[in-house]
Every structure is written in C-alpha cells, then in structure tokens.
Chains A and B, each alone.
Chain A
Amino acid sequence: MRTKLRGITIAILTTIIMFSFQPTVLANDGKQRIFDEAELLTDNEVQQLEQLTYEHSKKHEIDFIIVTTPKAGKDIKKFVQDYYDDNAPGYDKPHGNAVIFAIDMDDAVREFYLAGFYKGKKYIDDTRINHIISKITPYLKDGNYYTAFATLIETGSEYAEYVPGIDPEGFYMQTWFHLLAAIVIAGGIVFFMAYNSGGKVTVNERTYTGDFRVIHRKDRFITKSVTRRRKPKNNSSGGGGGITGGGHSHSGGRGSF
C-alpha cells in the first residue's frame, strides 16, 4: 500500500518536472496562418506570430492570416482576392471568416493590402482597416516587420470586440469627449434651472387671439435650377473593399511603404 502510494507520487512529480522542462510550444490547432514567403521573419518570430494569431483567431472565430510575397506579379488587391478564392481560408469553414494581410516586397511596388471576409468583413470594416494601416505603416517603413504584424493582429483583435459599424477611434469613444459632453449637458440643465427659477412666461400667441384669418395667399412658382455632381466613388485605385472573382465580398484598404 505504502510503496504504491510512493510510486504514484513519483509518477506525478516526474510528469510535473517533465512538463516544466518542455520548450514553450503551447497548444495550437496546427493550422498555418503565417505565410512568410518573402522571408521577412526569423523562424522564432514566425512561431511566435503563429501562436499569437492562433489565440486571437480562436477568440473571435476569425482567421487572421498574413502573407508576404517577394513578388506578387499582380495588383496586391487582386492578389489577396485570388488568394482567398484559391486557398479557401476561414476559421469556421473553407471560404469562411478571415482577415487577410498581404504584402508585396517587390522593390518596384512595395504595397500591402488588408481585407476582411464574412465575419472579418463585418468586424474589420474599411474604417477600422484604415486605422490599422495607419498604425502599422511606420513599422513597415522601418523594416520592423515582426512588430508590424503583431500590432496588426492585436489591433484587429481589439477592434473585433466593438459592435460593428462603430469607429473604435471615433471622437465619441474618447474620454475627453465624454467629459466635455457631461460638462456641457450639466451646465445647460443647471443654467436652464437657474434661468427658470424666477418664473416662466406662460402665455403664448393663442392666449389673447380673437380672430385669425388669412385674407390673401399666393404661392407662385418662378423657376427652377438643377445642379448635378458625380457620385462620390470608392477609390477605384483599389482602396476600400470589393468582390473576389469567386464572388466573395470583402472590406479592404491598401497602403505602400
């Protein structure tokens, strides 16, 4: 009995020791989401990003995918669309929820494109994409690719927590605006209370009116003028979203570095 108990204790201890000496490879679903074909990252960085994107992808059920290419050979937007059509990524199913970032390292191009599909489109809309782009562009310019991609995943994941349609960086989300609004509203109400403390005027135009007649009324049409202006178009250069050749609609935004 005694030896048996000791045996179990040793077994447990061994297991604990074994696990604590394991290298930091944590649980993962085995799906690849970082495709560093342009070799901008070290192996270690790729692994860390895989881990990061796995955690955030799982959290929102949207795959955050990063593709780097030494030479896309076509417009970067088209590249992303084709990538989605051909590789059928998606957290929930093929051609499912995904946010795809692709970067073309071709010296003559140096452009990138960020797109959201399905749930990714709903939560990472054009406005949010533009915020993300302006956050990561400086890092890309510095060649700090790892930080840029990590920022992209973390910011995208943070934005995905907001109700769709809200601009997370909008002024109405800022503390200074809440303070200002609180002060203006309270000031207005208190001023109104003080102003009315001396009694209000309680008569209106009807109080003393006897008769009211319209004797003469004329509404004559003279002329009309028509002006026209072109409908504001989504940047035809590729800014904003679109529809892939396979018929998948997406949000999007591009930039260069």
Chain B
Amino acid sequence: MVIHYKCPNCGDDMAFDTESGMLSCASCGRTDNIEDFSDEFITTTFSDEEAKEYNCNNCGAAVITDADTSATSCSFCGAAVVLADRVSGSLAPDKVIPFQISKEQAMDAFKKWCKNGRLTPKGFMTADRIKNITGIYVPFWLYDLHSEADVKAKATKVRTYSRGDYIYTETSYYDVERKIDLTFQKVPVDASEKMNDEMMDKLEPYDYGSLKDFKTPYLAGYLAEKYNYTNKDLFPRVKSKVNQYVDQYIRSTINGYTSYHYENKHVNTEERKAYYCLLPVWMVYYDFDKQEHTFAMNGVNGKVVGKPPLSMQKVMAWFSGIAATTFVVLKAITILVGGDLW
C-alpha cells in the first residue's frame, strides 16, 4: 500500500514544508493543515504483493526501497510516497516531531559548524564536498519510567582538633538509608539498527513541545525508517541510561559526610508507557580525503554530532601554542618570585 498526496488545486505532488508545518504544493503554493487534510486527496492503492514491491501512484514506476524504509520518494518521478503498511498496525507511530529545519537551513548550519572546527583540516572547513544531505525520520522509543531506589550505606564524619600536645581525630560512624521514588518522562532510545547509538544519544534533547500525533503527511518528502527493535528489546538500554541519573539523585540526598560506601543498593525501574515516535534527523554524508564521514543533525534545533577528521597540523599547532604559553607563564611566575631563568 502506497500513500501519495495530490494537490486538490492543481493535482501536482505535495510535500511537508518545515517553515509552515503544513503540507504544501510546490506548483501552485497551496498549503493544507495536516490535522484536517481530507482523506479524499490521499490516494492509497493496495497491491497484492505489498511487502515486496510498491508502485508509485503518480507514474506507475516501481518504488525501490530497502526493507526498513517507510517513507521515500519515487526515484522516477520524485513524488513523495509513504509506504502505508510500514506505518500502520503494530508499526504505526504514536507521535512525530516534524522537521523544523529545512534542507537549506540544515546545509547552512552544517557549513557553519564545519567552520567552527578548531582541529579540522582547512579543506574540510569549507564544507564544499557535501555528498548528500538527507532528512530522515528516525524511529525512537520514548519511555515513561518509574524508578525506585533503595540504598543502605555506611557513612563517616571525621573531625580533627588539637588539645594540649595531641591532635585528635574523631571518626563518627552512621547508618544511612534512603528510599527514593522517581519518574522519568519520554526518555528517548533510537530503535533503528542503522543508526549509531552513541551519535543518536548525543543529538538529544528534542523539544517535546512540538510533539504531534502521528499523521502520514508529515513524512511526505522525507525518508523514514521503521523500528527494528521493539520497546521490550530496548528496555535494558533505557534502563542503563536512567540508572546513572538515579545514581546522581541518590548521591544528592546523601550529604554532610566525609565518606560513605553502599552496603546495599537496589534500583528497580519499570516501564509505565512506551511511545513509538519518529524524530527528525538530517544525515550529512561528506567525502573528504577519500573517506566518507557521516554527521547527524537534530532536525529541531540544529545540533550537529559526528566525528570530523582531525588535522595533525592543527593539533600540533594548538598543542605547541598552549604548551609554549604555559611554559612562558610558569617561567614568568618563577622569575617574579625571584627565581632564575634556568
């Protein structure tokens, strides 16, 4: 089943526009609110062998995708198509954050980011070899979690004072118990096999204020993936993610002691709800020095992550600059307090 958006005015293909947040027609300029876009103009066709091949409603050509793609554009006529069976049923997303940065803005933001790289090679900074920039809706699970932590610790307070000819060290021992209750809301974990976990974690945070109920037209004009892992599969990952937060909260409640160590620590985290959500990411593919570098940009706030190449020359320049300055400053201090140059 393929979904295709036809302009009610002129019949041309429509796609999602980041600026207005609406479905818009490039030919006549018509814009339609996605919440009340009439189903009448969404043509859906079912084909018998859905899972294998999709045909474009516009031109009839075969839409070639890989198995995880849920939205793409027809490689023949360019019309935005959404593969409906990959966004329905158990694969139906609950929420979506639409792109708020257009392709041009993404390009500019990325170029600007390249210029700021203090250790990147000069040739890289000009950002003139961007091979491809693609807007992808990446599948995420957003977890609402409830954690309970129970800790028992031994703590000490140490006080020293002197009386007469002696220095006294007084160590007081305490039993410390804490039980805390925490809820976390919409902790994101990416559910796509293709995406690098570390990179996706660094893209956070997403502005949940622009979270919308899922409607297929948001995907028009972009690529979208379906999840490879269910919320059950990824629960251990979200758990380890929030465990470090829980630890920080526990530590924040134990204060006033010189030292403490846990004798017993029990953290129980359970899932209250998991939302299947598509989050906007611009993927930038950049050829530099015969290597392809991949960067990801948060499609809401423009934050860029990904390892840029390092220029050994620049690394050395910074290193020697800082080392020389430090050395001179230390020498200057030495001379100021009366020392000799050598």
- A interface residues, Cβ below 8 angstroms from B: 161-163, 166, 168, 172-173, 175, 178-179, 181-183, 185-187, 189-190, 193-194, 197-205, 207-231
Please name all residues of chain B whose beta carbon is closer than 8 Å to the beta carbon of A205 when the two chains form the complex: 244-245, 248-249
A residues within 8 A CB of B310? 194, 197
Secondary structure dominating the interface of B? mixed
The 7 closest A-B pairs by CB, nearest first: A199-B305, A162-B338, A205-B245, A186-B323, A216-B179, A210-B183, A186-B322
**A175 touches which one: B308, B337, B342 (CB < 8 A)?**
B342
Please name 12 further chain A to chain B contacts, defined as beta carbons within 8 Å, in addition to the given A205-B248, A225-B173, sorted by A numbering: A162-B337, A162-B338, A172-B334, A178-B330, A199-B303, A209-B182, A211-B183, A214-B179, A214-B181, A226-B169, A227-B169, A227-B171
Looking at the complex, which one of B168, B304, B315 makes contact with A199 (CB distance below 8 Å)? B304
Residue of A nearest to B242 (CB): A208
Bits for B174-197, please: 1 = Cβ < 8 Å to A, else 0. 111111111111110000000000
CB-CB under 8 A from B182, the residues of chain A are 209-213
Residue of B whose beta carbon sits closest to that of A183:
B323
Docked CA distance A100–B112 (Å): 70
Q: Give min CB distance, B274 to chain A, whole Å.
A: 14
Q: Of all chain B residues, which has the CB nearest A225?
A: B171
Among B316-334, those with CB < 8 Å from A are 318-324, 326-327, 330-331, 334
**The residue from B165, B169, B203, B342 contacting A230, defined by CB atoms under 8 A apart:** B165
A198 touches which of B168, B205, B308 (Cβ 8 Å): B308
Interface Cβ pair total, 8 Å cutoff: 179
Distance in angstroms between the alpha carbons of A180 and B120 in the assembled complex: 27
Is B167 positioned at the interface, with any CB of A under 8 Å from its CB? yes
Q: Which of B183, B242, B307, B322 has the most CB of A within 10 A?
A: B322
Is B201 on the interface with A (CB-CB < 8 A)?
A: yes
On whether the beta carbons of B323 and A215 are closer than 8 Å, the reply is: no
Q: Is the CB of B169 within 8 A of A197?
A: no
Interfacial chain A residues near B118, Cβ < 8 Å: 193, 197
Chain B, residues 66-83, CB within 8 Å of chain A (1/0): the string is 000000000000000000
Are A208 and B176 touching (Cβ within 8 A)?
Answer: no
Show 26 A/B contacts (Cβ-Cβ < 8 Å), sorted by A: A162-B338, A162-B339, A179-B327, A181-B326, A182-B323, A182-B324, A193-B119, A193-B318, A194-B310, A197-B120, A208-B186, A210-B183, A212-B181, A213-B181, A215-B179, A215-B180, A215-B181, A216-B178, A219-B155, A220-B175, A220-B176, A222-B175, A223-B172, A224-B171, A226-B170, A231-B165
Question: Chain B nearest CB: distance from A62 CB in Å?
Answer: 15
Chain B contacts of A201 at CB under 8 A? 201-202, 204
Contact with A209, one of B168, B183, B304, B331 (Cβ below 8 angstroms) = B183
Contact of A214 among B178, B186, B242 (CB under 8 A): B178
- B179 surroundings in chain A (CB, below 8 A): 214-217
Q: What 0/1 pattern do residues 189 to 222 of B give for CB contact below 8 A with A?
A: 0000000000101111100000000000000000
Closest CB of chain B to A204's CB: distance in Å? 8
Considering the chains assembled together, what is the distance between the CA atoms of A118 and B223 in angstroms?
83
Say yes or no: A173 contacts B339, CB within 8 Å.
Answer: yes
- Is the Cβ of B330 less than 8 Å from the Cβ of A207? no
Q: Which residues of A lie under 8 Å from residue B170 when comparing CB positions?
A: 224-226
| Residues in B neighbouring A214, C-beta threshold 8 A | 178-181, 253
Q: Which residues of A contact B324 (CB under 8 A)?
A: 182
B331 near A178 with CB under 8 A, answer: yes
Decide: A228 and B167 in contact? CB cutoff 8 A: yes
Using CB atoms, name the residue of chain A closest to B183.
A210
**Given A217-B177, A227-B168, A178:B334 Cβ within 8 A:** yes
* Contact across chains for A217 and B338 when beta carbons are under 8 A apart: no
